């Protein structure tokens, strides 16, 4: 299930396979460069499994919910991490209300909850509010 990204030059929608989200690609229409994914990507279970399973770079997952105050406080830090680690990591957001099966799979009891995956395997998981520097550190270590 590819991710659809819009070319900033010609506005054409491009389908990007999960394993190439961290790569610089080319627009299918105008051939302009498409930068690596630099924003947190909201995912469902199927896309989560695909990205985590196929990614060639570490993946940070933010388990969150709209009603959670600390989750809203973490959102700008998560976005900053996605931007600063573009090309070197992928950042996913999992809404625990919409995807309770993923929360259960990773024993998420408190949110925000952050998990780092490398080569499809969980390498770090921590609940609680952290800043972008800490997230970058986890991703660099992975």
Spatial contact of 130 and 77, defined as CB atoms under 8 Å apart: yes
In whole angstroms, give the CA distance from residue 79 to residue 94. Answer: 14
Which residues does the annotation mark as catalytic? Answer: 68, 71
User: What distances in angstroms separate CA 14 from CA 2, 52, 55, 118, one per listed residue?
Assistant: 9, 21, 18, 26
The topology (CATH level 3) of 41-141 is Glutaredoxin (3.40.30)
**pLDDT tens column, 15-28:** 999 999 999 999 99
Domain boundaries along the sequence of the chain: 3-34, 41-141
**pLDDT tens column, 79-136:** 999 999 999 999 999 999 999 999 999 999 999 999 999 999 999 999 999 999 999 9
Question: At residue 50, does pLDDT exceed 90?
Answer: yes
Task: State pTM to two decimals.
Answer: 0.94
């Amino acid at each position: 299930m590819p991710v659809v990204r819009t070319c900033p030059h010609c506005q054409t929608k491009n389908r990007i396979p999960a394993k190439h989200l961290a790569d610089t690609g080319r627009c299918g229409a105008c051939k302009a460069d498409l930068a690596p994914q630099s924003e947190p990507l909201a995912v469902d279970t199927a896309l989560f499994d695909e990205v985590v399973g196929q990614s060639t770079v570490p993946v940070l997952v933010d388990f969150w919910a709209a009603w959670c105050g600390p989750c809203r406080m973490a959102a700008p830090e998560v976005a900053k991490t996605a931007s600063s680690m573009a090309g070197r990591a992928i950042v996913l957001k999992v809404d625990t209300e919409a995807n309770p099966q993923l929360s259960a799979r990773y024993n998420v009891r408190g949110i925000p909850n952050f998990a780092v995956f490398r080569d499809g395997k969980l390498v770090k998981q921590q609940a609680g509010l952290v800043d972008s520097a800490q997230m970058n550190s986890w991703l660099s270590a992975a």
